[in-house]
Structure 1
């Protein structure tokens, strides 16, 4: 599968900025939400499991949102990669408490926007309505990013989109079905022929 640094670089390029929580992702998600002290000597005890931030229903919901962002075509979509489950881990382990709260509140805002625009929840929308809704939210987060100051809160839909892309590119189906993948690199070739329409490489 694509390594973490390459995946982050690709998502940052697509999103036009640094990935939220990316530093923690590169360091294997060192739980920024967990208070750390240095007064006690380290022990051999297993680390305590952090409580879940998102429940199973929210994970399933995020899989549907992710599938709208990266739908199934000739290759499997985001739902096949379980990006909802990936988001649950990332939000719990790699997001600061403030961003965790923004993310959770964002799911409520997304649902409220669906009800406001279509008089029904996101899961009840057809494919076209889902796409139109998320396209408008994507435009909203892009406009927000243009004037956002470093101390201003992050936009929830940017988080959702970033984690969808990151989860997909680092998944088995994303790396092997949507991208070209060589599990064991062969000889170095600095000039590989590329035809228009060829899939990008998952490994470099």
Structure 2
């Protein structure tokens, strides 16, 4: 079975130079003073308030929702994000994430008169769209970093590797004429 660190190395290759710095550090890009393990134990420090954590969790599920396969929450993405940011992020890496969550919370309170976590899925999608289109302070930076965290957390989880994709440790022989109509899932190896 593939482990999370190996999957992270693949994500580094996929995103290349635009990778969110804590993901690169966790994948093994050398940096002095960084602890060697990312996937064991709880976060070393609490980085989110209860409101930020609730909103972050809700937004994770809006980026990768539950469909015919489990979504981001079932895959443990919120815990992954908190662990990654607590143990691998520098203070400058945390700033856009926390500021973005605070800005989205304020916008939700202003526009919908409810917390972002309690907003409807459509309202949460609208909040994410505001961030993506840079319609909140530093929204585009928040959205890009947050989206990378969610995608990386999901596709390096057991659910992402084995249920969303089809895991074949040795995919077998090459068949250059394989009919596209017989492709079920994207393979992850």
Shorter-normalised TM range: 0.7 to 0.9
Which of 3, 7, 10 is residue 7 of structure 2 equivalent to?
3
Q: Which has the higher contact order (CA 8 A, sep 6+)?
A: 1
Relative to structure 1, the CA distance from residue 125 to residue 56 in structure 2 (aligned partners, 3 Å threshold; closer, same or farther) is closer
Which of 121, 126, 132 is residue 115 of structure 2 equivalent to?
121
Q: Which moved more, 1:168-177 or 1:186-195?
A: 186-195
TM-score, normalised to structure 2, is: 0.76
Residue 174 of structure 2 corresponds to residue 189 of structure 1: yes
Tell me which structure has the larger Cα radius of gyration.
1
Larger proportion of helix: 2
Relative to structure 1, the CA distance from residue 168 to residue 31 in structure 2 (aligned partners, 3 Å threshold; closer, same or farther) is farther
Residue 45 of structure 2 corresponds to residue 51 of structure 1: yes
Q: Any conservation in 2 of the 1:75–1:178 contact (CA below 8 Å)? A: yes
Q: Which residue of 2 aligns with 1:26?
A: 27
Look up the SS of the partner of 2:174 in the other structure: coil
Alpha-carbon distance in 1 for matches of 2:80, 2:133:
24
Residue 186 of structure 2 corresponds to residue 200 of structure 1: yes
Q: Any conservation in 1 of the 2:47–2:82 contact (CA below 8 Å)? A: yes
Relative to structure 1, the CA distance from residue 71 to residue 190 in structure 2 (aligned partners, 3 Å threshold; closer, same or farther) is same
Task: Name the count of aligned residue pairs.
Answer: 174
Q: Which residue of 2 aligns with 1:168?
A: 154
Shift of 1:124: 1.8
Q: Deviations over 1:61-111 (max 9, x none)?
A: 322110011111111111111211111111122222112233222221121
Q: Any conservation in 1 of the 2:54–2:117 contact (CA below 8 Å)? A: no
Look up the SS of the partner of 2:149 in the other structure: helix
After TM superposition, the runs of 4+ consecutive aligned structure 1 residues lying more than 6 A away are 31-34
Gaps of 5+ in 2: 36-42
Alpha-carbon distance in 2 for matches of 1:91, 1:128:
27
Q: Which residue of 2 aligns with 1:40?
A: none
TM-score, normalised to structure 1, is: 0.71
